[in-house]
Amino acid sequence: MPRFIQDTIEGIAMARTALRANPLRSALTMLGIIIGIVTVTLMSSFLTGITEMFHYTTSSMGTDVYYIDKFNWMSQDWMTQKNRPALTAQDANLLRQKMTTAKAISATAMQDVNLKYKTNELDDITAAGADAGYEITSSVEIDQGRFFATEELASARPVCVIGHNIWVQLFHKSNPIGKSIRASGYSLEVIGVAKEVGGLFGDFGIDNHILMPLQTLINAYGEPDRSLTLQVKAKDVLDKDNTKAEAEYQMRMVRHLKPGDKDNFGINSMDQFNQVFDGITSVLTAVGLTITGLSLLVGGIGIMNIMFVSVKERTREIGIRKAIGARRRVILTQFLSEASMLCLIAGSLGLLIAYSASVYINHNVLDADSNVHLHFSLALIFMGLGLSVAIGVASGILPAWRASKLDPVDALRYE
């Protein structure tokens, strides 16, 4: 067996003996590390869970779909953009004729409505006017009934498809097909229920929307000159950048813009939300780790202080060991092993507490249907253990170095 490995094994064995000799002191010393590991891992698991849910939601809404709108979503220049010309169904038709990289193109408009079925009412619900391409561009899947037929879209029939949450709240999961509801006083026949999507956005998703033919919405609620949103879905998600570039080029042609003219429309996508959200979570992670790292720093200082005390108490022991031939690296390994074991045990306890807390929160604090859960991964466990060992080495290196440099004669004379 190599000498280094043998020295390490001996150092770990002696460190274990030393820790057992002072259990109360060891436990109190580990407290700071335990608290630090618990806070760091719980914060990381929460941020991981909310990030995964956010990206899942945006992906379900389609990161390969571009929304051509009057406004740029992330721009603050709303006063200038509100004077842009409205987007129309004719723009959508021209775009369909010109584009080659789009799987589908749809035009849609939104309207806030109040829904009523018998004695059940829902306020501030979003109604979306849909055309033939909407089912593809918005990835709508039908759970009950059907989507709009071509003749229903063309003749602006008073029919609708409701989201999953609308079905639950208005009909209490009873069969809604063929029933009539009133949307801000306008009567609509329910012909379908959209499949539940879930996700972080809640009210912004299909689960809380009611769909009707686009012309039906305009006939029912007026504003025939309202600006529409054109949705362009790429044929291939890997080629979506080319789809965006072609959509921009073709829209400039539709608008008869000259090469030097600025765009008088915005092209938006869910990737913009992802980028903004990732930036926010990066800042939150940095701030959170800085704050929770303070408890680890305090714990590390406590470990270092205890190790200095331990070196002082065992000065004669160190002198005897060096007098009978123990090398500096053996002494160094012994005290580093002691500090690392102390932190590793503390880190393991912290991870156990954090895992138990995350399970309890997921099952008892957060709803079973909650969109966000604490995500306690294997990578997080390895991170916690690695961080614990790193703190142990960093905290123990100076006391261990001092112990290894003690002169054996002076150490033996120490009282």
Q: Which whole-number Å values give the CA distances from 349 to 35, 140, 341, in the listed order? A: 10, 47, 12
One domain for residues 29 and 147: no
Q: How confident is the model at residue 371, as a pLDDT?
A: 62
One domain for residues 105 and 11: no
Which residue type does 62 have?
G
Structure tokens at 118: 């018998």
Give me the domain span that covers residue 221.
65-268
Beta strands 102-117 and 120-130 are antiparallel
One domain for residues 139 and 257: yes
One domain for residues 43 and 72: no
One domain for residues 26 and 151: no
One domain for residues 343 and 381: yes
How does pLDDT run across 103-150, given as a tens digit for each residue?
A: 999 999 999 999 999 899 999 899 999 998 999 998 889 999 999 999
How does pLDDT run across 363-382, given as a tens digit for each residue?
A: 877 765 556 678 788 888 88
Grouping H, G, I as helix, E, B as strand and the rest as coil, residue 18 is helix
pLDDT band at 399 (very low <50, low <70, confident <90, very high): confident
One domain for residues 172 and 256: yes
One domain for residues 77 and 21: no
Which residue type does 193 have?
V
Q: Of the residues 250, 268, 286, which one is the last residue of a structural domain?
A: 268
Domain count, the chain: 2
One domain for residues 131 and 193: yes
Q: Which residues contact 40 (CB under 8 A, 6 or more apart)?
A: 289, 292, 293, 296, 384, 387
One domain for residues 150 and 224: yes
Buried (b) or exposed (e) across 13-42, using 16+ Cβ within 10 A? ebbeebbeeeeeebeebbbbbbbbbbbbbb
For residue 235, pLDDT over 60 is answered with: yes
pLDDT band at 209 (very low <50, low <70, confident <90, very high): very high
Distance, in Å, from the CA atom of 21 to the CA atom of 17, rounded to the nearest integer, reads: 6
One domain for residues 51 and 70: no
Q: Of the residues 268, 293, 311, which one is the last residue of a structural domain?
A: 268
> What is the pTM for the complete model shown?
0.67
How does pLDDT run across 278-292, given as a tens digit for each residue?
A: 788 788 888 877 877
One domain for residues 108 and 220: yes
Q: Of the residues 252, 268, 284, which one is the last residue of a structural domain?
A: 268
